[in-house]
Structure 1
């Protein structure tokens, strides 16, 4: 039978802005499930706001599999910057059931708020209301503003870390910055600053994803070299905030590292320690063994496209590169390594992919710079959502585990979608249901568009 999604509309997207705020590849996460409920965070225009100049953060929840969506609106914070970097993202701490939100920054000060405890562990106890959340803070609870780089922040992300949760973001500007890491402890209800796990040297790392799986925290990234320009160090300058001289043409190589102690120490793909943050160290561009693939500048390599880690510890990256002059979407896969994983790689009595090794596979031509999304299912298959903005088409591809992720088949295509799709990774891994956060528009040209969730029962 053909694959057909159920589509649910959550709210109006601020479509009169020049830049898309809802649905960007670097949002980790905008859609997330936990303990049988699903949560979505997005911006929607303030009623009667001219040209959608003012928008509010909205947070919605529903009981899975198909409960009615409840919504809350944070009317105490007005977002006005017309900049696609100023997204909103969400984290859930499993240990104390808190929800954490970070929003509206591009090379600016932190904006952050959190919920009361147990909100996601006992959801039916709480009436869904913005009063459950703190005010907007300019620092993380437990960390002084002077003890962490909260002043020039971009690309915040949250993620599970066992019963705790991590927070990470870039400090600095395009081509000239570092990524830092903090841990939220459920036991104390406060954050600890760990350090800068990825440090740039006249460049900056652009992270595909930071994901915890089976006791390991995995990260992949590209570097972008810095091009100096007049006024680059002027305080409060906006010259660097869009492509300018430091655009994606300066991206190069794909790198990988992992941590087995919640980000305190980091190892390369050969299981060698490359940075101990407790000693003030960081992963540097020249750290040994971190490069997975050498891809030169001007090869079409995107920043922050997509990463997923499957249940066996295999690492998957979605990006693109030039092949014979054509830009092609490509997956990069690292087979799991460590104790007990070698038997998982035997197929018909021989190794299909040796443990800890990288392979890559072409999917299809990439018609634009709009980024896609990759996620893994309960069975270990990978699903890839690829947008084609010129035709407002969204396509879904599948690569089964049995193929060693070398073959891809298009299993669905739909018209009337814009933006970069995002996926509820937890629901796909737990329930084999693919929930997709994206923007829905008419096939004909239209200014109005909606924030929607597509549900595919696989």
Structure 2
């Protein structure tokens, strides 16, 4: 059954004058989410004309579901000036106290973070939507000192709501030479605590597809690939910035292996797919290292077209889905890698792709239907495929194709699970060379 055309609402103008895309990147977890009947989205944009196109500022939008108008506030105290596609903005909401958290503008930079007053997302109709609801930019997480070492070299922050708490993960170090660190925000204290470096790269760094909390089982899942490090002149200079150039020698050609681990205690203890503990974060120095037992789901060598940070989702039964691509079948193919509840892993090809294509997205409904959103950067089109648990997700039906859509699509997973509405955050052509940041709502 094909999807009906989506309802499209515009959040604001995308900054097309920039070389790098900042709105819509696969590693933004999340740029759109919902809680308590309200939806939230975050993006960068210039101030309205006649203001100059630079700098950019964080725009945070909200609307009451299902059809409320978007309200947009601008955090104009922080100008974003770096033209680097890593420097996106992330949004997280703590279910326990309704605080909204933002982290932004990082590529091996000092932490930039702010949060709202309590209950803002718990009782949204009680608050006028203004910047005064948020702190200024902080270089630390409340409860931890600014001198905490990982805060000085941050890339890829992500927020993950659990039953009542909020997790934050971030990478320190540079491409091919870094670790992932995990923090827990408690609504009872309104502070963060440091859990530890749950993923440590040995002459490499892990690139996670995501951290997904499965509410029914209270299980936290993560999958990732490794990128091996290649030394270059000056790599060990503390002032080195060559690794920020978004080009070799530590590029995606050095990605290898799809790995998997899960936690039943919000990231404090990690197990492999067989249920063997591979890291107890309560023990000093324990971490998931490259050689941890049983973490490799698929052994994929370097130079096989494997992408970093593509997509991950967990279905209603606890099955784990990963979207990535490899060349092991002789053609560069998008693939659906799937771990049924309890195992084993399987993989199925979706279709040939053009090397360097934009990364896709996965989304799961409350009845287990899997939607695979595939962008094509060469033609500004986007396709949506659907698979179901009826045949263990073995059949892929194209249910929609649209044109003029760019970037890497993002999904409001919380709304999809509750309401069977697929809200996609994307960028869409607006004529005359302009582009809008939009939300596309599909009734599924």
TM-score range, shorter chain: over 0.9
Q: Specify which of 219, 222, 239 is matched with residue 216 of structure 1.
A: 219
What is the aligned partner in structure 1 of residue 347 from structure 2? 360
Q: Which residue is 2:372 aligned to?
A: 384
Partner of 2:269: 265
Q: Distance in 2 between matches of 1:320 and 1:179?
A: 23
CA 51–131 in structure 1, closer or farther in 2 if over 3 Å, else same: closer
Q: CA separation in 2, counterparts of 1:324 and 1:218?
A: 27
How far apart in 2 are the matches of 1:359 and 1:335? 8
Please say if residues 24 and 410 of structure 2, whose CA atoms lie closer than 8 Å, have aligned partners that are also in contact.
Answer: yes
1:44-71 per-position Cα deviation (integer Å, ceiling 9, x unaligned): 1134589833100000011111111111
Shift of the 37–50 alpha-carbon distance from structure 1 to 2, 3 Å rule, reads closer
- 1:356-379 per-residue CA deviation (whole Å, 9 max, x = no partner) reads 211111111222431000111111
CA distance, structure 2, for counterparts of residue 110 and residue 78 of structure 1: 15
**Aligned mates of 1:216, 1:44 — CA distance in 2:** 36
Mapped partners of 1:6, 1:48: distance in 2? 27
From 222, 225, 232, the counterpart of 2:228: 225
Do 1:17 and 1:52's aligned partners in 2 also have CA atoms closer than 8 Å?
A: no
CA contact (8 A) 2:357 2:377 kept: no
Query: Where do 1:221-370 residues align within 5 Å?
Result: 221-241=224-244, 242-280=246-284, 281-337=286-342, 356-367=343-354, 368-370=356-358
- Deviations along 1:110-159, one digit per CA (max 9) or x if unpaired, are 00000000001101000011100001000000011223410110000001
> CA separation in 2, counterparts of 1:13 and 1:139?
29
SS at match of 1:430: helix
Q: CA deviation at 1:238?
A: 2.3
- Hey, what's the Cα distance between the residues in 2 that align with 1:364 and 1:3? 23
For 1:123-138, list aligned pairs within 5 A: 123-138=124-139
> Map of 1:108-257 to 2, 5 A cutoff?
108-213=109-214, 214-241=217-244, 242-257=246-261
Q: 1:104 to 1:216 in 2, by over 3 A?
A: same
Q: Is 1:456 the counterpart of 2:430 in the alignment?
A: no
Residues 1:413 and 2:401 are matched in the alignment? yes
Q: Give the TM-score normalised by structure 2.
A: 0.96
Match of 1:375 among 363, 371, 375: 363
1:412 positional shift: 0.4
What's the TM-score, normalizing by structure 1?
0.94
Q: Distance in 2 between matches of 1:254 and 1:276?
A: 22
Q: How many residues align?
A: 438
Q: Aligned pair 1:55/2:59, yes or no?
A: no
Aligned to 1:400: 388
Instruction: For 2:3 and 2:288, locate their aligned partners in 1 and report how far apart those are by CA, in whole Å.
Output: 46
Is the contact between residue 16 and residue 51 of structure 1 (CA under 8 Å) also seen in structure 2? no
* Alignment RMSD: 1.3
> What does residue 424 of structure 1 align with?
412
Please report how far the alpha carbon of residue 234 of structure 1 lies from its aligned counterpart in structure 2 after TM superposition. Answer: 2.2
* 2:105 equivalent in structure 1: 104
Instruction: Please give the alpha-carbon distance, in whole angstroms, between the structure 2 residues aligned to 1:166 and 1:64.
Output: 25
Contact 2:424–2:440 (CA under 8 A) maintained in structure 1: yes
Query: In structure 1, how many angstroms separate the alpha carbons of the residues matched to 2:240 and 2:47?
Result: 28
Tell me how far apart the structure 2 counterparts of residues 141 and 59 of structure 1 sit (CA, whole Å). 21
Mapped to 1, the partners of 2:52 and 2:398 lie a distance apart of: 38
Contiguous gaps of at least 5 residues in structure 2 = none
Residue aligned with 2:125, SS: helix
Q: Name structure 1 gaps, 5 residues minimum.
A: 338-355
